[in-house]
Structure 1
Amino acid sequence: MNSYTSIDLATWKRRGTFEYYRTFQNQLFNITLEFPATELYRYAKRNRLSFFLLTLHAILRAVNSVPQFRQRIVDGGQVIEFEHVAALTPIMTPEEEFVMALTEYAPSFAEFRGQAEAAVAAAKRGEFDPSVRQRNDFICASCVPWYGFRSLTQAALTLDQSIVILTWGEMDASGNIPLALQLNHALVDGLHVGRFHRALTGFLTAPASL
């Protein structure tokens, strides 16, 4: 598990908002955004790189740039903030089943690519270490390349979960991809979603920066 810091609720400026949303039976909200992916797609083709892994890395970079996306609620109400988070992503096997692959965070695609390719290859063979599910220093990131969507609501194991869950879809004729987020409102507001949106748009339109 990655290193983390504990947030002192007594001095945390968000304490009031946090405690308010913690009274909700359903603390989650879902939002679907659109992102330009033409430049990233061309970059992937030109350099013979995986469009899927490039997109996943761009998303992971953007997620890690927003502290609130790295925060988790643990032990009944304590808030921690991870130094960085990984991505847990479902990979389709030859039998059209799905096995999870854990791709660890890396600041550059060159560093990310090797371990991510190995994790994807293991998942395609049906290999997954279930102990990963004991961690919470990751996001759940799914790709549905068969179709686009205007809106998508994620499944929720519990209505107070704090792990970020997201799904992105097929690139449309205009070169845009939809991306749906599920977030815990006790930790995340629209302002933070906006920062994620700007960061991811920047990576997708300047892929050499990855």
Structure 2
Amino acid sequence: MAGREIDLARWERAEQFRFFRGFERPHYAITARVDVSTLMGLKPLVGLSPFRTLIHAVGAGLHAVPALRTRFRGERVTEYDRLTLSPTIPLENGDFRYTYLAWQPDRAAFDSHAAAKIAEIRAGAPLNANDGSLEDVAYLSCLPWLDYSALDNALPHADDCIPRVSWGKIVPRGDGHDVAMTLQVHHALVDGRQVGRFFEATADALASLS
């Protein structure tokens, strides 16, 4: 997808970028509780899929933060306009496959696209893992069996800068529902302020469902 290469000589983050690139373990993950009361209230009324709706909301959160759309290879740093979302799709036999969804702001249009792609994957497909050629992507996964408090991901190497978003079991909380959600990022590109903005934007997308 379209993107712009960042001029490191003018980039205000160049010093931090080079500093954290030297770390053996430059990734960190933050888990927060996300309110999904609106989603769970609408689900029986309009038949929303919690899985696909959360994928779309996560996409809104990622696209609200330029740092989460930024990738690097060597010294080349690119900020992409739009990401492909790659959630793991559970199969009935307990296995899983990857799919690739073109995120778009229109939730209904995205939901239709996602439903068709997920059905296609479940009908029979190989693992379909990213071979490293895709940069403008974010990895998503759902653990609906666990209301967890922290999560970490397997990472192939220190320069892997693709964000990973996970969420757990939706549980009752007070008069509504919430869910644990984790964002894992590369510190050369993303600081805590940007992680906070991601959670705010994701929560806003979920609160504005109709």
Both structures adopt the same fold (TM-score exceeding 0.5): yes
**Counterpart position of 2:164:** 165
1:114 aligns with 2:128: no
**Residues 1-210 of structure 1 aligned to structure 2 (within 5 Å):** 2-74=1-73, 76-128=74-126, 130=128, 133=131, 134-174=133-173, 175-208=177-210
| Secondary structure of residue in 2 paired with 1:186 | coil
Separation of aligned partners in 2, 1:81 and 1:44: 35
| Secondary structure of residue in 1 paired with 2:172 | coil
Residue-pair matches, total: 206
Separation of aligned partners in 2, 1:160 and 1:32: 22
Query: Post-superposition shift, 1:132?
Result: 5.2
Query: Post-superposition shift, 1:200?
Result: 1.1
Separation of aligned partners in 2, 1:183 and 1:94: 30
The answer to whether the 8 A contact 1:90-1:98 is kept is yes
Residue deviations 1:165-187 (CA, integer Å, cap 9, x gap)? 11100112211100111100000
Compared CA separation, residues 128 and 112, structure 1 to 2 (3 A): farther
Q: Which runs of 5+ in 2 are unaligned?
A: none
The answer to whether the 8 A contact 1:28-1:160 is kept is no
TM-score, length of structure 2 as denominator length: 0.93
| Secondary structure of residue in 2 paired with 1:111 | helix
The answer to whether the 8 A contact 2:2-2:80 is kept is yes
| Secondary structure of residue in 2 paired with 1:173 | strand
Separation of aligned partners in 2, 1:32 and 1:153: 10
Separation of aligned partners in 2, 1:49 and 1:179: 19
Query: Post-superposition shift, 1:47?
Result: 0.7
The answer to whether the 8 A contact 2:138-2:163 is kept is yes
The answer to whether the 8 A contact 2:97-2:128 is kept is no
Residue deviations 1:147-196 (CA, integer Å, cap 9, x gap)? 11011111111122110011100112211100111100000000101111
Greater shift in the superposed pair: 3-12 or 172-181: 172-181
One-letter amino acid of the structure 2 residue matched with residue 206 of structure 1:
S
One-letter amino acid of the structure 1 residue matched with residue 209 of structure 2:
P
Separation of aligned partners in 1, 2:58 and 2:142: 11
| Secondary structure of residue in 2 paired with 1:43 | helix
The answer to whether the 8 A contact 1:99-1:126 is kept is no
Q: CA RMSD in A?
A: 1.5
The answer to whether the 8 A contact 2:96-2:127 is kept is no
One-letter amino acid of the structure 2 residue matched with residue 197 of structure 1:
F
Separation of aligned partners in 1, 2:28 and 2:95: 28
Greater shift in the superposed pair: 86-95 or 76-85: 86-95
